[in-house]
Amino acid sequence: MALVVQKFGGTAAATPDQTHTIARRVIDSYNQGNDVVVVISARAGETNRLVAMAEEMCPGQGGRDYDLLISAGEQVSVGLLALCIRSMGYKARTYLGWQVPIITNSEYSSASIIRVDPDKMLADLKTGAIVIVAGFQGIDQAGNITTLGRGGGDTSAVAIADVLAADQCELYSDVEGVFTADPAICSDAHKIIKVSYDEMLELVGQGTRGVQIRALEYAKKHNVKIHIRSGFSTATGTLVTREEELMEGGVVTGIVYDKNQAKIAVIGLPDKPGVAAKILTALADADISVDMIVQNASQDGLADVTFSVSKDDLAKADEITRSIANEVQAKAVIADSKICKLSIVGLGMRNHAGVAARMFTALAYNNINIQMISTSEIKVAVAIEEKYTELAVRLLHETFGL
């Protein structure tokens, strides 16, 4: 007998029929002899509806009462799933975050989990009940309801799996697993059966879907195995686990792209200490994340600095950058929203030389210019023109034999 935590996202529970499908899937696992704990999110669009309602009535408000409101969607999902399971003749026990309890800090709308009390859930499992817990929410040490931020249901599930010493944490959404490339672009892309935490962190950081990065970081820290699966299919998905449990594979595990990128170039910036830092500090103060950064060689006491931000932040970042550029008398600021960040990821890069060279050569051979570069131990990322995205993904998939 295994103990399994199954987490279902909002897209998997968007309709009554889908909720019944979830109930049958949970019962199938239970009938295989497993102890089952379910973590469920609000129905697709429900949290957005609650957020929009709050913004329409009281713009800009947050804090304790805001979290109380936007956590309501999960309560509906928990209740409906429990009713479905009971109607099929099985015992279900429901918990909201505060009832477990899932104890968090008091950072409303982005709370971090401090601890999870397993006692009630373990007691219910011993009685043969299927335990159903609301994801995304908890309670602080003053007794206030908190929420964990977007995608917090994944973190709830991983934390519960950890404290229960579950054999596996299954995350169900609208993706079937992690693929070597986007199947919509690359027809010969295939599902990755196992991937390491570090590889998955890089893939998610570059845009791969299936698990939220906070949940993945928690899983790595506590060694919780994650199985990324589709809520609409019974097919095996992708297992995220320790590097030691992987068979030796190829140099590159997957190729991922992110079109939600833009770049800002500051031309003719005074080449002296602290000038570039002034721009980056102002962006950080505005909660704008900067990814790739390139500074060209100094000429006549001037330098060019180029960096990337998300398209969502481009307008604000451009305004801040232009303001500081005027202060320091830079020659020009140029913004470009027509770029794509293309990344190759794989543990094999640690032990193989020339991986970046192969990537750059393949792109150059096809007249695809590289505008910016960033690397880590197991990743090489480049910025290219957005119009070349599909071609670049396919040729790199072929280049690295995926």
pLDDT, residue 280, reads 93
| Averages of pLDDT over each 10 residues, the chain, 402 residues | 92 86 96 97 90 89 92 95 97 97 96 97 97 97 94 94 96 89 92 93 86 93 94 88 77 93 93 89 94 84 92 95 92 94 91 90 96 92 96 95 85
Residues 232 and 341 in one domain: no
Residues 106 and 186 in one domain: yes
* Residue 362 to residue 384: CA distance in whole angstroms: 13
Decide: pTM greater than 0.85.
yes
Residues 75 and 182 in one domain: yes
Residues 192 and 336 in one domain: no
pLDDT, residue 199, reads 93
pLDDT, residue 309, reads 95
Alpha-carbon dihedral sign for residues 187, 188, 193, 197: negative
The SS3 of residue 228 is strand
As for how many domains the chain has, the answer is 2
* Residue 88 to residue 294: CA distance in whole angstroms: 60
Question: Token pair 């404290």 is at which residue?
Answer: 163
Give the tokens for residue 116.
Answer: 């999870």
Domain boundary among 199, 216, 246: 246
- Residue 296: which domain range? 255-399
Residues 321 and 354 in one domain: yes
pLDDT, residue 355, reads 92
Please enumerate, as own/partner, the contacts of 311-320 that have beta carbons within 8 Å and a separation of 24 or more.
311/260, 311/261, 311/262, 311/337, 312/260, 313/288, 313/289, 314/262, 314/264, 316/286, 316/288, 317/262, 317/264, 317/283, 317/286, 317/288, 318/264, 320/279, 320/282, 320/283, 320/286, 320/288
The SS3 of residue 52 is helix
Residues 273 and 239 in one domain: no
* Residue 25 to residue 185: CA distance in whole angstroms: 31
Residues 33 and 178 in one domain: yes
Instruction: Check if the beta carbon of residue 138 is closer than 8 Å to that of residue 111.
Output: yes
Residues 269 and 191 in one domain: no
CATH at 152: 3.40.1160.10
- Sheet with 3-8: list strands edge to edge: 92-95, 130-134, 35-40, 3-8, 168-173, 226-230, 238-241, 194-196
Residues 233 and 329 in one domain: no
Residues 33 and 152 in one domain: yes
CATH at 302: 3.30.2130.10
Residues 264 and 235 in one domain: no
Domain boundary among 194, 223, 246: 246
Residues 273 and 199 in one domain: no
Domain boundary among 182, 213, 246: 246
